[in-house]
Structure 1
Amino acid sequence: MVRARGLRMRLVVAFALVAALSVAVTAWVSAQSARAALVASAEQQLVRGVAEQIGATAPTLAYPPAQDSLDRLRSAVGANTVVVYRSLRSSAGDGPDLVTAELRGAVAARERLVTQRIVAGDRPWLLIGTPVMITAPDGARSASGIQVYAARDLTAVDRQVDGLVRSTLGTAALALALAVLLALLAAGSVLRPVAKLRDTARRLADGDLGARTPPRGADELAELTVTVNEMAASVQTSMATMHRMQTEARRFAADVSHELRTPLSTLTAVVEVLDDAAGAMDADARESVTLAIMETNRLVALVEDLMEVSRFDAGTAGLRLEVIDLPAVVHGTLRARGWLDRVTVSAPDRLEARLDPRRLDVIVANLVGNALRHGAPPVRLSVSATAAQVLIEVTDSGPGLHPEALRHVFDRFWKADAARTRTPGSGLGLALARENARLHGGDLTAGNTGTTGARFVATLPTGSEQR
């Protein structure tokens, strides 16, 4: 189906309009030329006939003429004729009524044959007026005083012209139809490569980076096809390089995290021993031990987060679903981290959902921890449910999220303040929280409360929707 505003239709319409205009102008000019030629030819024949009849009869007349001479001349010229000589007059048919004063004046003034076209009674007429000339023995010509006026009906000529116009219009209609057909063929030949390029671009957009269009010919469309193919090849190379780099980076992170687990376990055991002995140390040594313990724990958390990220990237992260009391799990998460007195919780007494409690703990802990670190009290956590999903909303009363932060808040290793490199957290918490929400078949969104403070909402299915 051709779209009303498609390029094909616009090309066809434009071609047809140009063709129609050309045909119309040509037909009009041809019709006018043919009409003028037909009328001129008919006039010449009629004038020649009248002149020949007058020329054949005039030498037989007596001068000055009598009434019978005028009658004989009028009869020779034909119907619709009037012949006058001073007060004498001979007429027949419609001639006397059609002759105009303008024609009489022109004949008298010029003393030569004059024609005039008029319309009378819805019929076209040709009026012919001429003086009868006398030729002397020496060849001199002079007016005899006799004037002949003849009216000739041009209806037959008009019918010929009308037939010619109809024929011209029919020819123009056929030419227009042929022009439309040629426009369709031309549009098809022009747009067929464009359609192939469109299909190739659509396949590229859908992820088929190997899509190509074979160039044909040596015109501009062929050059465009070559350019698109070169662009696609460049994009494919860049995407392959990027994918390889991402794969290598993920493998590197997973390998490093795995290799660090064993020495970190040993280091953790050592700092625990130091922690037990810190009470007998002086203040400076005790502070160094405390810092070492804190940084070790931070490094352990970072390695665990990297291991979890690598599992998500590899597609090996799974769910262990259980029917849980959601408010109870949320309170357990806050209690385990000592946050119960710092967070206002709004939740029903009991709300069951089929979720992975360990991954739910990661979601809640990261959202609340982020609000406590970067927001301002009071921090609020609310739990609600609909027929198909549960919502966990965490808000704070801080300055909220800047528009730039909203675009990157779930990016890995991204921090709103790049200078705060020593702040707790790996920069992976919110990214992991969203991955865990999506693993359940839900999602995690970020925004502001509308006044002040950030707002994070985790949406999770209640039971059968999760993967």
Structure 2
Amino acid sequence: MNWLRGLRARLVITFVLVGGLSAVGAAGLTYHKARDNLLTGVQDRLLNDFRHRVLLLSRDVALPAGDEELALLAEDLEVGDREVYVVRDGAVPSDARITAELRADVLRRPELAWQRVTRDGVPYLVAGSRVMLRAGGAPSGITVYLVESLAQAASDEAAVLRAAQAAALPVVLLAVLAGLLAARGVLRPVADLDRAARRLGEGRLDTRLPVRGGDELARLAGRFNETAAALERSVGELREMEARSRRFVADVSHELRTPLAAATAVTDILEAGADRLDADAGTAAQLITAEIAQLGKLVDDLMEISRFDAGAAVLNLDEVDVGAAVAACLRSRGWSSTVTADLPPDIRVPLDPRRLDVIVANLVGNALRHGAPPVTVRVRATGRAVAVEVADHGPGLPADVLPHVFERFYKADTARARSEGSGLGLAIARENALLHGGDLTVAPGPGAVFTLTLPRNRPAVERPSAQGNLPTQEPPAGTAPPVDRP
């Protein structure tokens, strides 16, 4: 990533140098702040040295300490022109530069406290700390104070500041020139890269950048071209794999239909004569009949999905009374007495009645199978849309399941070896809604609340499947469709 750091450095230098104009203009106003910043290094060094010496030398002081021990500790802590005062806790040092505010701060906390004070135009660093025992960190009853002159550091700071002010004008001129050159050399290729990235994001995978020179930007352009080429290859491979997968599903489903038709005919005969078979044979005949029916339903769903994935799904639109269509769906499956319905009349929407029947059948069958009564179906209309809401009062769906409930073959319980349906019911229902230009959503209730939203005042737009979910075939009257809830 060296090229990236180089690019970032050039951009930063450009703006910092241009910003130098403002910095020089405000030099007089920031003088005192600059002085404080330059003194910080000296101050930190002095404080660290004093702290370490106190920790080292105070270990040899016998407690309780007398005046002689305090005087010896003060003598050991004095270095050069440094002034040190060692007193008992609460005693007031004789030096007026040690303020009452600092003394109170020292007695209030165990760590080193400090201030910067000025007397007669000379800055001083004043610090104080209570001496703590090593065992348990308890106070020893001794307080030490440091008074150190910062006059030399202030003099050095003033000299550096004067030199910087004298050199400000030529530095600003150089900054402007360098900023212009850097902006011209950096910003134009970056703008080209931005435009190329936008084109790539729009799906134009053949986008490439010209590579000029051998600097960081040239390497960046080359890396962009390599990435774009790799992305183009990957997308091409994915499209080819997707096409092969769709062909495979369609071919397998088609090839299974003929043997399934023969197997279904045989199982119909077995089922018709099951009462003449012994108990075990009759049970086996019923089991194989149910399994063949389940397999046939799965094949039908896969065939529908292959048509959706190929963009061959077709809407047969009609002006439909939504309430009447929902009532017919419930009635044809024998659910009218078990489902509470609120179906206002004369709410008409252009839609495919068979696909609406499939959606409602999946949702209501799901609620009856996995939820708990009462199951309610309600149709409501707004100015622009019609909503069909199916709710139950069961345990509902966990929060981590809600984002995945419409995925193909999704199972919340991974221990389930197989589902009762094809595993495609809810995915198919939602794809039918999307095909109409609407949507199908789910929310926690109590229970689960599924809401189908259909546009009311505009014709539905036929669209290829975004997720490969297709409508199911209409189930026979009196039976629930294969519905799926994780």
* Partners of 1:396 and 1:20 in 2: CA distance: 68
Change in CA separation of 1:398 and 1:386 when aligned onto 2, cut-off 3 Å: same
Alignment partner of 1:277 out of 256, 273, 276: 273
Partner of 1:340: 336
Aligned to 1:362: 358
Cα distance, 1:462 vs. partner?
Answer: 2.4
Partner Cα distance (1:291, 1:181) in 2: 87
**How far does the alpha carbon of each residue in 1:178-220 deviate from its partner, in whole angstroms, 9 at most, with x for none?**
8546523421211222222222222222222222222222122
Kindly indicate whether residue 265 of structure 2 is the aligned counterpart of residue 263 of structure 1. Answer: no
Measured in 2, the distance between the counterparts of 1:244 and 1:417 equals 33
Offset of 1:15 from its aligned partner?
A: 2.0
CA distance in 2, matches of 1:400, 1:194: 52
Larger Rg, first or second structure (1 or 2): 1
Q: Where do residues 22-41 of structure 1 align in structure 2 (5 Å cutoff)?
A: none
How much has 1:429 moved relative to structure 2?
1.0
Query: For the residues of structure 1 that align with 2:207 and 2:294, how far apart are their CA atoms?
Result: 47
* Cross-structure match for 2:444: 448
Instruction: Give 1:418's match in structure 2, choosing from 399, 407, 414.
Output: 414
- Residue number in structure 2 paired with 1:315: 311
Root-mean-square deviation (Å):
3.0
Distance 1:188 1:400 in 2: 61
Which structure shows the higher helix fraction? Answer: 1
Instruction: Name the structure 2 match of 1:102.
Output: none
Deviation (angstroms), 1:350: 3.7
Give identity over the alignment, percent. Answer: 52
Does residue 16 of structure 1 match 2:18? yes
Unaligned runs of 5+ residues in structure 1 are 1-6, 26-167
Residue 438 of structure 1 aligns with an amino acid whose one-letter code is L
1:26-105 correspondence to structure 2 within 5 Å: none
Q: Does 1:436 align with 2:432?
A: yes
Unaligned runs of 5+ residues in structure 2 are 1-8, 28-164, 462-486
Return the offset for 1:13: 4.2
Matched, 1:409 2:409: no
The answer to whether the 8 Å contact 1:324/1:353 transfers is: yes
Displacement of 1:177 after TM fit?
7.1
Following superposition, the deviation at residue 287 of structure 1 comes to: 1.4
Aligned to 1:459: 453
Structure 1 length-normalised TM: 0.62
Q: Which protein, 1 or 2, shows the higher relative CO under an 8 Å CA cutoff with sep ≥ 6?
A: 2
Shift of 1:358: 0.6
Structure 1 distance, partners of 2:437, 2:182, is 52
Describe the shift of the 1:177–1:24 C-alpha distance in structure 2 as closer, same or farther (beyond 3 A).
farther
Aligned match of 1:390: 386
Q: Using a 3 Å threshold, how does the CA distance of structure 1 residues 295 and 357 change in structure 2: closer, same or farther?
A: same
Pairing 1:224–2:226 present: no
Query: Structure 1, residues 49-98: CA drift from partner, whole Å, max 9, x if none?
Result: xxxxxxxxxxxxxxxxxxxxxxxxxxxxxxxxxxxxxxxxxxxxxxxxxx
The equivalent position to 1:193 in structure 2, one of 189, 196, 209, is 189
Asked whether the equivalents of residues 327 and 343 of structure 2 are also in contact (C-alpha less than 8 Å), the reply is: no
SS of 2:184's equivalent in the other structure is helix
Q: Report the AA paired with residue 451 of structure 2.
A: V
Q: Quick check: 1:24–1:172 contact (8 Å CA) kept in 2?
A: no
Check whether the contact 2:377–2:390 (CA below 8 A) recurs between aligned residues.
yes
Q: Structure 2: which amino acid aligns with 1:263?
A: P
Shift of 1:291: 1.2
Q: How many residues align?
A: 317
* Preserved CA contact (<8 Å) 2:440 2:450: yes
**Paired residues of 1:347 and 1:383 also in contact (CA < 8 A):** yes
Q: Deviations over 1:80-136 (max 9, x none)?
A: xxxxxxxxxxxxxxxxxxxxxxxxxxxxxxxxxxxxxxxxxxxxxxxxxxxxxxxxx
- Equivalences for residues 287-306 of structure 1 within 5 A: 287-306=283-302
Q: TM-score under structure 2 normalisation?
A: 0.59
